Amino acid sequence: MTDKAPGHPRVAVRRPQRADARRNFDALLQAARQAFAEHGTDASLEDIARRAGVGIGTLYRNFPTRQDLFDSVYVGEVEELCRAADELAGLPPWEALVAWLRRFVGYIGTKRALYESLNRDSDMIRSCREALYAAGEPLLARAQETGYARSDIGFDDLLRMIAGITGIGYADDAQRERVLGVALDGLRARPSGG
């Protein structure tokens, strides 16, 4: 499930070769992501197939077991985060980091929904973690090197902070956004002497 890209490891979901089969595969992943976020890992596979606009046979051809679907959804989320880091790298350092962290918030939601179903000691999870760090660490480093982000925080610290903030319950999305904004403001570098 891992292929190498220049500069850092990558993870990738193995998609079918034919365009129509790829569309079905991607629709199933998207539908599963939504269903797992709404109903947890007990979400109905029939509901996932219906949401994707395909038959249950198509789901099973692509994902012979429920675990295959869990793993593919998880790897797909990590793959999207890695791709986002590459796409955002051209933005100014602070904007790139904050935009990536906001996408990371969505990943945390999916990871929590699948957490009990993932083998956290597997090579796949280790590869995903390596790819995630390889993609995101340079964004923090660039924000730190240019003086936009505090230099006394590591990438692991940052991810744990964001995961902790997004993991608790809020009255509504606006409250979660305010709390996340305060945390991100705390990440900003402060001018010395002021």
pLDDT digits (tens, 9 = 90+) for 69-119: 998 999 998 999 999 999 999 999 999 999 999 999 888 877 777 777 887
Residue 120 per-residue DSSP state: T
Q: Six-digit token pair at 40?
A: 């947890």
**pTM for this predicted structure:** 0.81
pLDDT of 12 above 70: no
Say if CB 170 and CB 179 are below 8 A apart: yes
- Which value, to the nearest 10 degrees, does the dihedral of the CA atoms of residues 143, 144, 145, 146 take? 50
Residue 9, φ and ψ in degrees, nearest 5: -70, 155
Provide, rounded to the nearest whole percent, the portion of the chain with pLDDT above 90: 60
Angle at the Cα of 100 (from 97 to 102), degrees rounded to 5?
110
